[in-house]
Amino acid sequence: TYRFLTLAGGDWRKVREAAILQMTYVGPPMIYYGDEVGMEGTLDPDNRRTFPWNQTRWNRNLHDTYTKLGEIRRNYAALRTGSITTLYRHNAKKLYAYARFDDTHRIVVAVNNSDRSQIVSIPVWPAGIGNGSRRLTDLLHGGTYAVTDGTVTLTLGAYDGAVLLDNVTGSVLPPWIDTGVEVVVSDPSIPANGRATTQIEVTPLDPAGNPLGSGQDVYMEATYGRLLDSVTETAPGTYAQRLRAPEAGGKGIVTIWVNGVKLDEEPVVTFRDPLDPGPGCGVVPAPFPLSLLGIGVILFLWWIVPILRR
């Protein structure tokens, strides 16, 4: 496997951007020795060169970036064990932002995967960061940014990013953490024929029981069956995804995340035998006298048909 800097065409800024994601996203980061000082290499064994102990050969920009990110990750547990929610993404502009948070800190991470600087406005209110005196400090590059109308605006350099710390600490979990949710399954029992589908609808609610509205990040997974397409907003504040039945019976448990938080409620969909008409559609047995009559008719036909053919 080629080393990252080699894959990036020698552009150390792309490695810097990857390091920002690596050190702030979910999961433990792993650094292959030498990546932090700009070692290059192609296929094995070239990717296992001797570490350049002569520091004059190091890429100081990368080394300083890795050092700073390591300190930030060590100092803020939200980056190690906190929850996560997506705040902004723009595929065409190659911009992405998310929040990491626990019961002490909120941190907003933004990256620019393009070859030019860009101004980006990130909605931070889904992470519980409001207006007023709220300010975000860039732990990586320095600088402070005010929050206006639940949004922070900043300039991201080419193949660079920012790690923004909310100035408010303490009990700072976003307001939707302890809210309710309404989950509706259009048909909880469908035939296991590989074609039938059912729809799972999710409506996140505020403490008063009202829908949180548009802008929520909803994600679903199913233990059995196949989720089709992606989650779509079918009505303001209501999100849905279709689940297709497999070709064998069983049950599928649907796990739902709202704004990065896994819900306790997990709807279950039953995939029944295609010959089973389903609940409320069973065949009612005929009364006993009618059953005898039917048997009698069959026996009579069995006796009379050969006679008529003579």
CATH code for the domain in which residue 132 is found: 2.60.40.1180
- Is 8 part of a structural domain of the chain? yes
- Is 189 part of a structural domain of the chain? yes
Highest average pLDDT, of 14-28, 38-52, 127-141, comes from 14-28
- Is 286 part of a structural domain of the chain? no
Distance, CA of 202 to CA of 257 (rounded, Å): 10
- Is 1 part of a structural domain of the chain? yes
131 and 207 housed in the same domain = no
Please report the pLDDT score of residue 215 as a whole number: 75
Write the pLDDT tens digit of every residue in 23-75. Answer: 999 989 999 898 898 888 898 898 888 888 988 989 999 999 999 999 999 99
261 and 188 housed in the same domain = yes
7 and 50 housed in the same domain = yes
Helices (H), 161-232: none
CA separation, residue 163 to residues 99, 107, 300 (Å): 10, 7, 88
For the chain, report the end-to-end CA distance as a whole number of angstroms: 86
167 and 226 housed in the same domain = no
Write the pLDDT tens digit of every residue in 231-279. Answer: 999 998 899 999 999 999 999 999 887 866 677 889 999 999 887 766 6
**Residue 289 pLDDT exceeds 80:** no
CATH code for the domain in which residue 211 is found: 2.60.40.10
62 and 127 housed in the same domain = no
**Residue 104 pLDDT exceeds 90:** no
Q: What percent of the chain has pLDDT over 70?
A: 87
Domain that holds residue 15: 1-75
136 and 160 housed in the same domain = yes
- Is 144 part of a structural domain of the chain? yes
Domain boundary among 75, 108, 133: 75
Q: Lowest-confidence range among 46-55, 83-92, 129-138, 283-292?
A: 283-292
19 and 92 housed in the same domain = no
Domain boundary among 127, 154, 172: 172
- Is 280 part of a structural domain of the chain? no
**Residue 200 pLDDT exceeds 90:** yes
CB 180 within 8 A of CB 205: yes
**Residue 162 pLDDT exceeds 60:** yes
Q: If you average pLDDT over residues 106-125, what whole number do you get? A: 95
266 and 209 housed in the same domain = yes
**Residue 201 pLDDT exceeds 80:** yes
Q: Quick one: angle between helices 60-75 and 12-24, nearest 10?
A: 10
- Is 27 part of a structural domain of the chain? yes
| SS3 label, residue 62 | helix
199 and 238 housed in the same domain = yes
108 and 26 housed in the same domain = no
- Structure-block tokens of residue 60: 């100081």
Domain count for the chain = 3
- Is 56 part of a structural domain of the chain? yes
99 and 53 housed in the same domain = no
228 and 155 housed in the same domain = no
Q: If you average pLDDT over residues 205-216, what whole number do you get? A: 78
Domain boundary among 131, 153, 172: 172
